[in-house]
């Protein structure tokens, strides 16, 4: 049974996570895809192609991506190379304190280039990426023409 995990499942957006796929056949070619919808409903996604090791595992921190959104060993590549489905869109988080980005990670057999809804992933999981830590207080700043926010630790 194929399993994909992200550790920790919930973390701050600037903290590294570890992605692992287990239960593959040795040397199996797979596609790892990450995607999310921003606050306006725009989809951002990245993908990378990997060949499983002798134990049937893929770890983007150890194994090089063979292609897709990036090449080589990039432990956080699936998060860093997220691209919009619509050109000229930017991934921006407006509600930094109220909710996280929920990034869906999926594993597909072979090279998966499209987003055909009939293609079923072998496994999937979800990661939460928060922009403000627990207990952090957000204070709006409005002084003359200056606008901003002050984030105070607990």
Question: Which tokens hold the place of 117?
Answer: 């809804």
Helices marked H in the chain: 77-80
Residues 102-151 have pLDDT tens digits of 999 999 999 988 766 678 999 999 999 999 999 999 999 999 999 999 99
| 1 vs 18: CA distance, rounded Å | 20
| 56 vs 7: CA distance, rounded Å | 19
At residue 113, the pLDDT reads 85
pTM of the model: 0.89
Domain containing residue 23: CATH number: 2.60.40.2240
* 3-class SS of residue 58: strand
Helix (H) / strand (E) containing 11:
strand 10-12
What is the domain range of residue 101?
A: 3-152
Q: Mean pLDDT of all residues in the chain? A: 94
Please state the domain count of the chain.
1
Residues 41-81 have pLDDT tens digits of 999 999 999 999 999 999 999 999 999 999 999 999 999 99
């Amino acid at each position: 049974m194929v399993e994909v995990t992200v550790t920790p499942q919930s973390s701050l957006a600037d903290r590294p996570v570890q992605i692992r796929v287990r239960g593959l056949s040795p040397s199996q070619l797979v596609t790892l895809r990450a995607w999310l919808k921003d606050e306006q409903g725009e989809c951002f996604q990245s993908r990378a192609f990997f060949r499983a090791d002798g134990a049937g595992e893929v770890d983007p921190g150890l194994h090089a991506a063979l292609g897709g959104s990036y090449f080589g060993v990039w432990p956080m590549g699936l998060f860093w190379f997220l691209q919009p489905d619509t050109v000229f869109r930017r991934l921006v988080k407006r509600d930094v304190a109220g909710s996280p980005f929920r990034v869906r990670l999926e594993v597909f057999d072979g090279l998966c280039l499209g987003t055909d809804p009939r293609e079923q992933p072998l496994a999937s999981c979800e990661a939460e990426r928060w922009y403000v830590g627990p207990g952090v207080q957000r204070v709006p700043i409005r002084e003359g023409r200056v606008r901003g926010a002050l984030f105070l630790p607990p």
